[in-house]
A and B are shown apart, each in its own frame.
Chain A
Amino acid sequence: MLVLAVRSLPVRRLPFHREVSAMLIAQVIVNWLLLGSLYAAVALGFSLVWGIMNIVNLAHGAFILVGAYTAYWAFTQLHIDPFLGLPLTMLLLFCLGWVVQYVAINRVIRAPFLVTFLLTFGLDLLIADVVQLLFTSDRRSINTAYSGFGLTLGTLHIPFDRLLAALIAVLLTAALSLFLQRTRTGNAILATGMDRDAARLMGIRIDRIYALTFGLGAALAGAAGAMLVELYPFDPSQGGVFTLRAFVIVVLGGLGTPWGALAGGLVFGLAETVVPLLPGIGPGYDDAIAFALMVLVLIFRPRGILGKAFYA
């Protein structure tokens, strides 16, 4: 039922025609891929933290918020382009996530699920309040020199900023996957997620692994926020919306792998781009459609589309 509360991003709607032209189909597919990939970025960090630490991080949306406002602040005060400033935003969010995990969540990591739930919920409220205090509750948006520009092929239009955001989202997914699979530290993160005590027997300092994982999750959320604020107007009330979406996307795509976030993001994106154009459906049912998709996936693949028993 949570999904029904999800508000949709203001996506430009294409009118429904009885005769759908090839160009329109192509445009819809492009819109879908761009939006779906962006949604992958929204869910990536959430998926990592849930998969490895078994924490449903209710402060995920708050980290997205901090990322968005960091990018906004850097753009308006320092004239740093949100895309170019991405590494900096991510570094800042990594530090924030690392500290939060190390001082707060590590203390309750063995506590029941509800405790971490409440803790991250409190954190979410705290961060959202601080953001509101610093930036007021006004809607903010960024207009770069290239806003509104894009590639045009006939009637097909691909905005630069959306394309870049989608590419970065896919790149982040691939980078996270490679990092986990191919590096010593990445393997230690996976091992800790699979069997905490066995990981300790290997000499892995799991408190540090958790802090690192949580930091990475926050950094990825920050990246998503910085890209979102470039594409859509933002205000401090939106954190919860994105936490909810990340949750749905991860359930759709499956918990086992970063690619699950991409799969889930693409399926979630369907609800706002492709499905409304199908004959007899029409716009206005995004949330119902997303919910229906989630139910379908849960019926036919309870683990999610790419879900595995372990995070790998």
Chain B
Amino acid sequence: MNPTEPRSGPGALSEQRGFVSTQPATVSNSSQERQQALLQVDHLESGYDETRVLWDVSLEVRRGELVALIGANGAGKSTLLATLSGLLPAWTGYIRFAGHDITHRRAEEIVRLGLSHVPQGRRLFSALTVEENLLLGAYTRRAGSQQAIKQELEEVYALLPKLRERRRQLAGSLSGGEQQMCAIGRGLMSHPELLLIDELSLGLAPQVVDDLLNALDVIHREKGLSLLLVEQDVQIALERADRAYVLENGHIVLEGTGHELLQNERVRTAYLGA
């Protein structure tokens, strides 16, 4: 993950993301790494000032996985993501990402290691243009990597063509769906290995959600980007996820593959209204 290293093509791209490519050299490397989780969270506790929100949370995301995190409003999903990305300090426990202990690292450092967080509510820089927002997503790239940044920008525009149309528009003037696209595009501009997305579909029309999910599918499958997705539409989330966790009152109460949880009685009654 040397950010200044110019990328030469899809091969180099997948290698950096630890994607199982067709090149033999990376196969052995990746299969070795796949034994170990990309993100490993052990007995994590965290919260705000005096209020404890997360209790003994353990989970993992392996390379190339799409993991869903579901749970009711106020369960602590956003708090968990903010703790992972370093916006909130961890109280106790252990967070390991891509071979680094990031438990006590700051957000500014964690994004440089390849963990990118698309926060709830998008949090765009609304008085800046779409393209300025995207370029700030590549802020971690040092000067001299102009070419790589340009290429990344092209990739994001290719993935989310609406953003190219809107690139000179102020981010605050976009529709909700376009804002979410911009937020995801911005999150991708740092060239992450793992993307955390908080409430992808909240407040968006079904068609827009489909478009976004398809775009994420492309980078997930083709480029091996790992995803941790917080999603209130449990059906959508579990259908797509390799694995999923259920968070209730700051505790992980269930985990399994997406299909296992779709069949699970507790999930069906509590989250699918069945």
Contacts and interface: CB of A to CB of B under 8 A. Distances in A.
B108 A312 contact: no
B108 A203 contact: yes
A188 interface: yes
Q: Quick one: which of B117, B123, B136, B140 has the most chain A CB within 10 A?
A: B136
B127 A204 contact: no
A279 to B, nearest CB: 43
B125 A308 contact: no
Contacts of B214: none
B167 to A, nearest CB: 14
Interface in A186-223: 187-188, 190-191, 194-195, 197-206
B123 A312 contact: no
Interface in B77-120: 85-87, 106-108, 111-112, 116-117, 119
Given A202-B137, A203-B140, A195 B125 contact: yes
Given A201-B117, A201-B119, A203-B112, A187 B136 contact: yes
A202 B111 CA distance: 7
Contacts of A200: 86-87, 106-108
B32 to A, nearest CB: 29
B128 interface: yes
Contacts of A195: 123, 125
Given A197-B87, A201-B119, A203-B108, A188 B136 contact: yes
A202 B140 contact: yes
B246 interface: no
Contact of B128 (A184, A187, A201): A187
A297 B144 CA distance: 47
B226 interface: no
B135 interface: yes
A256 to B, nearest CB: 8
Question: Does more than half of chain A's interface fall in helix, strand or loop, or is it mixed?
Answer: helix
Interface string B151-179: 00000000000000000000000000000
Given A190-B125, A198-B123, A203 B111 contact: yes
B132 A204 contact: no
B16 interface: no
Contacts of B85: 201
A204 B139 contact: yes
Contacts of B111: 201-203
A283 B106 CA distance: 58
Contacts of B132: 187
B212 to A, nearest CB: 19
A52 to B, nearest CB: 12
Given A203-B108, A312-B128, A197 B123 contact: yes
Contact of A190 (B123, B128, B140): B128
Contacts of B126: 194, 310
A191 B140 CA distance: 14
Contact of B119 (A188, A197, A205): A197
B128 A202 contact: no
B190 interface: yes
A260 to B, nearest CB: 14
A106 to B, nearest CB: 13
Q: Quick one: which of B86, B125, B128, B143 has the most chain A CB within 10 A?
A: B125
Contacts of B137: 202
A218 B107 CA distance: 28
Given A187-B136, A203-B108, A198 B125 contact: yes
Nearest to A200: B107
B3 to A, nearest CB: 10
A66 B174 CA distance: 45
Interface in A163-185: 184
Given A200-B87, A201-B119, A191 B190 contact: no
A309 interface: yes
Contacts of A206: 108
Interface in B171-189: 186
Query: Can you list the 4 inter-chain pairs with the closest CB atoms, starting with the nearest?
Result: A203-B140, A310-B127, A198-B123, A200-B107
Given A203-B112, A203-B190, A204-B139, 10 more contacts: A187-B128, A187-B132, A188-B136, A197-B123, A201-B107, A202-B111, A202-B139, A202-B190, A204-B108, A312-B127
Interface of A: 184, 187-188, 190-191, 194-195, 197-206, 308-312
19 contacts: A184-B135, A184-B139, A187-B136, A188-B136, A191-B128, A191-B136, A195-B123, A197-B87, A197-B107, A198-B125, A200-B106, A200-B108, A201-B87, A201-B119, A202-B140, A203-B108, A204-B136, A205-B108, A312-B127
